[in-house]
């Protein structure tokens, strides 16, 4: 019984800390060719020199586009459907 209670407490803490990643929302991997051209242009304009290689569409409709700089640093930009930038990493 002691172990079951411990597991329950750990599960609750995990939910409180969002260990499942739910705060980011679900996202689906999409091909770069499926990212709208205006979204790709915004990504390229804001992260010049980055070679984009991966894209996701979040449940909220936000596009997340990721790539690498020439020095290998991974860069990422999140762009809302209206073209406004949510985040640049």
Indicate the pLDDT class of residue 12, thresholds 50, 70 and 90: low
Question: Per the structure block, which two tokens stand in for 32?
Answer: 């770069």
pLDDT surpasses 60 at 15: no
pLDDT at 21: 46
Closest alpha carbon to 79 in 53, 49, 51, 41 = 41
pLDDT average, residue stretch 9-24 = 47
Q: Is pLDDT at 81 greater than 70 in this prediction?
A: yes
Of 63, 64, 85, residue with least CA distance to 76: 64
The larger pLDDT score, comparing residue 89 to residue 22, is at 89
3-state secondary structure of 17: helix
Cα separations in angstroms, 53 against 15, 26, 64: 32, 20, 11
What is the per-residue pLDDT across 23-77, written as a single tens digit (0 to 9) for each? 456 999 999 999 999 999 999 999 999 999 999 999 999 999 999 999 999 999 9
The CA distance from 80 to 17, in Å, is 26
């Amino acid at each position: 019984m002691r172990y079951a209670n411990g597991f329950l407490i750990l599960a609750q803490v995990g939910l409180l800390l969002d260990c499942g990643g739910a705060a980011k929302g679900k996202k689906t991997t999409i091909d770069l060719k499926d990212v709208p051209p205006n979204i790709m242009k915004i990504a390229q304009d804001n992260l010049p020199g980055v070679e984009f290689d991966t894209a996701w569409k979040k449940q909220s409709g936000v596009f997340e586009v990721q790539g690498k700089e020439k020095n290998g640093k991974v860069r990422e930009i999140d762009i809302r459907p209206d073209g406004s930038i949510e985040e640049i990493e």
